[in-house]
Amino acid sequence: MIVAVACDHAGFPAKARVLEAIRALGHEVLDLGTHAPEPPVDYPDAALAVGEALQQGRAQRGILLCGSGVGACVAANKLTGVRAGVCHDTYSAHQGVEHDDLNVLCLGARIIGPELVSELVPAFLRAVFSGEARHVRRLNKVLALERGR
């Protein structure tokens, strides 16, 4: 799987650990920046980079980092085809994929430590959408909302 990763300056301190966790699982990284803590980078720019990678088929999943994870999540969810969630526990990281077809994991570098990053990334990337009728029904309703219905 190709995983697009991007962060703003506040998310940068956790980015190396995210990249390491992805590669340890045998996945390919599409590193969309930022590549240094300075100059400051705005989280909507990081969200757009990951969202476009998903929309264009250059990646199958994405991980966004900012200070809290919230700003990046809000911005990412404005993009068609992106279903992003802030997940700072392993249950949400896998359950969001299994039940809601989450395709972008948002993490807050100022909220979680490196050891938790090493648990969240695998939980998210190993998870698969269940395809159960109730989850498909709910996902279709979310997709209808996205289309403006």
- Could you tell me where the beta strands, DSSP code E, fall in the chain? 2-7, 28-31, 61-66, 84-86, 104-108
Nearest alpha carbon to residue 44 among 66, 12, 16: 66
**Catalytic residue selected from 27, 88, 99, 135:** 99
**Catalytic residue selected from 7, 66, 87, 106:** 66
Catalytic residue flag (residue 88): no
Contact assessment for residue 79 and residue 59, using Cβ atoms and an 8 Å cutoff: no
Catalytic residue flag (residue 66): yes
- Tokens 């430590």 belong to 113
Catalytic residue numbers read 66, 99
